[in-house]
């Protein structure tokens, strides 16, 4: 595949996945072992495809520039109709190996209005966006959008020791995020990183599955199931080689497309009973 073919290949791939949403056809462009370097997209080809499936209908990718060098393709584009207040301007870097995308890096920014642009020049194309929706005119949160927003947080709870927990939490939550474990007490996003990483060391096979998700206005309610086998002291209990399966309820508030706060309850008493039997 030559340089021109690389650019054609990349543009056809992005149109197939993001505009046409033909996932069967898109699988021909992305490697099953696809490596994803992004604070916004879950790992692997499956993580990317699931994110796109959760996005609003009508999402659109437009390309302004495609450059190829060796096995790499560089794309400058815009993702619009995302359900958020602003379109996203994207710089994507993709590595091609054996005729498919093998690896990806990206940089994403909200598209600036004319009033916001310090240079007085648009970020994409030759003109500024005609209209930027205010938060009051953004469509109500859908189940699919809610899944996309919370996905990185739950990904960080699946074998945390193997994940970039800070990046995943940053993708899901605002820097000012508050995670309430009582009505009064809460942890910051940075403090939560330590909690997740500690759980990953204590329970190496920790899994956290979304069993049900509901949306009420700007709130997302998740019924989850946590499973795992503690390898060291867990809430004061010695490891016995036994596993647990317990329920968790999380109530999130979403602001500007990210998690602003959470109130959560986990049935750890049942988990301790199960590992102690």
Which among 212, 103, 86 is positioned nearest to 147, based on CA atoms? 212
pLDDT along the chain (277 residues), means of 10: 79 95 95 92 91 83 95 95 84 96 95 91 87 48 92 96 95 94 92 96 96 93 97 92 96 93 95 89
pLDDT at residue 125, rounded to an integer = 87
The residues near 205 (Cβ < 8 Å, ≥ 6 apart) are: 159, 227, 228, 229
Residue 132's pLDDT is 42
> Looking at residue 234, what DSSP letter applies?
B
pLDDT at 167: 94
Angle between helices 143-155 and 165-172 (to 10 degrees): 160
Q: What are the strands of the beta sheet with 100-110, ordered from one edge?
A: 30-37, 100-110, 88-97, 72-80, 60-69
In angstroms, rounded to a whole number, what is the distance separating the alpha carbons of residues 231 and 157? 16
pLDDT at 2: 56
Q: What is the reported pLDDT for 3? A: 54
For the chain, state the CA radius of gyration. Answer: 21
pLDDT at position 239: 94
For residue 23, the Cα-to-chain-centroid distance in whole angstroms is 19
Question: Running DSSP on this structure, what letter comes out for residue 135?
Answer: G
pTM of the full structure: 0.53
């Amino acid at each position: 595949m030559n340089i021109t073919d690389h650019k054609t290949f990349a543009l056809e791939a992005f149109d197939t996945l993001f505009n046409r949403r033909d996932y069967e056809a898109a699988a021909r462009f992305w490697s099953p072992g696809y490596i994803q370097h992004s604070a916004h997209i879950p790992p692997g080809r499956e993580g990317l495809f699931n994110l796109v499936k959760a996005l609003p209908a009508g999402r659109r990718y437009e390309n302004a520039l495609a450059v190829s060098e060796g096995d790499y393709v560089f794309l400058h584009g815009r993702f619009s109709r995302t359900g958020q207040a602003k379109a996203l301007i994207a710089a994507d870097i993709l590595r091609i190996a054996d005729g498919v995308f093998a690896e990806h890096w990206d940089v994403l920014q909200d598209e600036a209005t004319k009033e916001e642009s310090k240079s007085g020049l648009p970020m994409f194309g030759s003109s500024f966006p005609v209209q930027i929706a205010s938060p009051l005119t953004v469509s109500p949160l859908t189940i699919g959008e809610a899944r996309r927003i919370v996905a990185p947080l739950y990904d960080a709870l699946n074998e945390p020791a193997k994940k970039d927990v800070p990046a995943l939490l940053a993708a899901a939550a605002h820097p000012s995020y508050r995670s309430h474990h009582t009505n009064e007490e809460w942890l910051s996003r940075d403090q939560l990183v330590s909690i997740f990483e500690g759980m990953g060391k204590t329970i190496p096979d920790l899994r956290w599955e979304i069993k049900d998700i509901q949306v009420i206005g700007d709130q997302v309610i998740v019924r989850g199931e946590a499973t795992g086998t503690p390898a060291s002291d867990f809430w004061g209990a010695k490891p016995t080689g036994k596993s647990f399966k317990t329920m968790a309820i999380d109530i999130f508030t979403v602001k500007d497309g990210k998690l602003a706060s959470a109130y959560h309850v986990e049935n750890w008493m049942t988990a301790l009973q199960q590992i102690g039997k």
